[in-house]
Amino acid sequence: MVDMRLYAKIIAKSSLMLAWEKVLANKGAPGGDRQTLDDFAESLERNLEGLHAALRSASYRPGPIRNVSIPKRDGSPRRLSIPSVADRVVQTALCQGLTPILEPEMEDASFAYRPGRSVQMAVERVGRYFRQGYHWVVDGDIDDYFDSIPHHGLMAVLRRYVDDQDVLGLIAQWLAHAHAGGVGVSQGSPLSPLLANIYLDDMDERIGRTGARLVRFADDFLLLCKSEERARESLAAMSALLAEYGLGLNPDKTRIVNFEQGFEFLGRLFVRSMALEREQESDAPQETPPGPTPDDPSPPVEPLHQASEGPGFQDLSPRLRVMYLSRKGCRLDVRGRAFVVRSGPEPDAPELMVVLPSQLDRVELWPGCDISQKAQRFALECRTPVAYVDGWGRTLGVLEPMVADKAALHLAQAAVALDETKRLALARLICAGRVRGQRALLMRLNRRRKNSDIESNLAAFKQLPRRIATATTISELLGLEGEAAKRYWASLALLLDKSWGFSSRQRRPPRDGVNMVISYVASMLYRDLRCLAARHGLHPGFASLHGSLDGKPGCISDLVEEFRAPLCEGLAVYLANNHILKKEMFYKTDKWPCHVTPEGRETIIRAYEAWLDRPVKSPRSGEKVKWRGLLEEQVLAYRDHVMGRSVYAPYDMKY
């Protein structure tokens, strides 16, 4: 039996479960054993238990790797070594344990694959140095970097920071498994970005002592200098340093240039004082490691919008980037033109994260967290909504910009709400969308169990769409929705682990862990849709099924209906039945029947983000989008319906 220290934290079942959630969220192709994410998820608990046991007994061995080549933008091949799903889980767990140790050691000049850092931040750093008079540049590239890292040198660096021999042995085992020659770190592995960054950390520090200003993004770097002579000296110093680390420069991609001539870095063309973004032609590195969606445990921010580029295009942009402030004592502040998360209320409290407004679409403040007045004003200026959330996940209020000046759209919404015929027609569609979603989820969950009571309820569900289509009043529709809900919640209770004590939907207040999760997730989904509706000018108050009432954003309630089954109840069942949620994450008090611990809250938030990060087929384009992409499509479809451009079609989850 191996000794348990840092290793014990890394291989703990809770750590492996969190790692699995990140691997699932990052998608990724099968490894050499051809096991897919869906295959692994079918026996999730058994697979994670097996990994834990193998790691604990020191009998773990890496599985087969799938080697593939994809073309770079210059046409040359890039070799990817894709680990199995199980190995990606273990490597991601290792990253979770090592990142807090290694990340603080890394130099400020490094921007790739690091939490809270991005291409845009590197670009802004270049601009700052230009304004300080650094107008000569060594535009460099480390030749074949990932495949050239020597194992002995890398392990020597790691030993400075990690004294757990079992952790070091695990890393050495992976390195040797993927590269038997003692050189190279696999592209496509979740662990590689962290190892690649820490190996160059000493070099980053040493080149900084020469007087040049370094900006490095993985193997691409700039050395900014105040004269051409100093640039030549810096180039020679960098070449000598790299040789010490067993590395070299790519002569075809390394040159000395100045801002007057212009140069390209990270997809931007720097000319004089301008940084112009280039599209499609750039050979700049992406903000995630190359390869088929690797499982990076700290995925950086992606661009907000991408435009379709023809057949086969997959718009997997996230559409909404959300900052959740849930750890007690955190405070949102401003420094310069960026949001800053501080560890306490003091103005000089340590900074935990810096986020540019362009990287953020909305903020959630949970109990025990605060926001400065300066940050409130900055959020309004940047049109970034800030939601205040209570301990049950409910929205207390939202600090948001004024409703968009979309008079024609608001009048069209009002016209539908005031015309009983138009309102009823749209309400029928929304009600039908909710009921179809309930039926599809039950069919999926009961596919293997074949519970006869559930099958009986599903038979009754078949009749509801026709009755909804012929309903003559809103009250009749609400009655049919209630009839469906009664059968739905009774069936869902039969599909859940009985130890959770779930028997029916109870909202105010939730009386058990499952009800609590459903309420939490529904509230987060509600806030996502409100943000997307505001983005496209919809007035939140004009509605059809839920009515237009003062203080009630009925439009958002309409939009959320079709997504409750796949995104709220579906996630809650997954978390409960796979024991991702633990009973100890929930507790009772004399006043309330159910509370959630901070650990439970964080688990729910992380799971919600991972759930929405999965791809789903768009019914309109036929291409894959992420779930928030589909939410935005439905917001636009709702808008087009009230404007008379098309008829609204709710999302239809397929069985």
* Domain-terminating residue out of 399, 430, 462: 399
Whether residue 462 is found in the same domain as residue 330? no
Q: How many domains does the chain have?
A: 4
561 is in an annotated binding site: yes
Look up residue 174 and give its amino acid.
Answer: W
Asked if residue 441 and residue 473 are part of one domain, the reply reads yes
CA angle at 414 for the pair 410 and 420, rounded to the nearest 5°: 155
140 with 250, same domain: the answer is yes
Kindly give the parts of the chain with pLDDT less than 70.
1-4, 71-77, 272-319, 403-405, 655
The answer on whether 546 is annotated among ligand-binding residues is: yes
The alpha carbon torsion through 128, 130, 132, 135 (nearest 10 deg) reads 160
Per-residue pLDDT, 479? 93
> In terms of domains, do 47 and 133 share one?
no
In a domain, 64, yes or no: yes
Alpha helices by DSSP H, 382-419: 407-418
Q: Which residues contact 421 (CB under 8 A, 6 or more apart)?
A: none
Q: Looking at the structure, do residues 333 and 211 belong to the same domain, yes or no?
A: no
Q: State the amino acid at position 45 in one-letter form.
A: E
Q: Residue 263 domain-assigned? A: yes
Is there a single domain that holds both residue 136 and residue 212?
yes
The structure's pTM equals 0.54
Is residue 90 located within the same domain as residue 48? yes
pLDDT in tens, 155-172: 999 999 998 999 999 999
Here the contacts of 377-384 (C-beta below 8 Å, separation 24 or greater) are 378/334, 378/339, 379/339, 382/357, 384/357, 384/360
- Supply the CATH number for residue 219's domain: 3.30.70.270
SS3 309: coil
> Does 347 share its domain with 414?
no
Write the CA distances from 436 to 216, 286, 488, integer angstroms: 51, 40, 11
Res 569: pLDDT: 94
Range of the domain at 529: 407-643
- Domain-embedded: residue 531: yes
Contacts of 179 (CB under 8 A, 6+ apart): 147, 151, 185, 186
Which of these three, 399, 427, 458, is where a domain ends?
A: 399
Domain boundary among 366, 399, 432: 399
Residue 152: how many other CB atoms lie within 10 Å: 11
Q: Is 87 a domain residue?
A: yes
Do 472 and 394 share a domain, yes or no? Answer: no
Q: Is 506 domain-assigned?
A: yes
CATH number at residue 331: 3.100.10.20
Distance CA 475, CA 225 (A): 73
Cα(180)–Cα(176) distance, rounded to whole angstroms? 5
Q: Is residue 120 domain-shared with residue 86, that is, in the same domain?
A: no
In a shared domain, residues 225 and 205: yes
pLDDT in the model for residue 292 = 31
pLDDT recorded at residue 226: 92
Cα separation of 335 and 323, whole Å? 17
Q: Do 343 and 374 reside in the same domain of the chain?
A: yes
Q: Per the domain annotation, does 296 fall within a domain?
A: no
pLDDT at 52: 92
Residue 550 in any domain: the answer is: yes
DSSP letter string, 428-484: HHHHHHHHHHHHHHHHHHTTTT--HHHHHHHHHHTTHHHHHHT--SHHHHHHHHHHH
End-to-end Cα separation, the chain, in angstroms: 46
Q: Is residue 306 part of a domain?
A: no
pLDDT of residue 383: 86
Q: What is the CATH number of the domain that holds 517?
A: 1.20.120.920
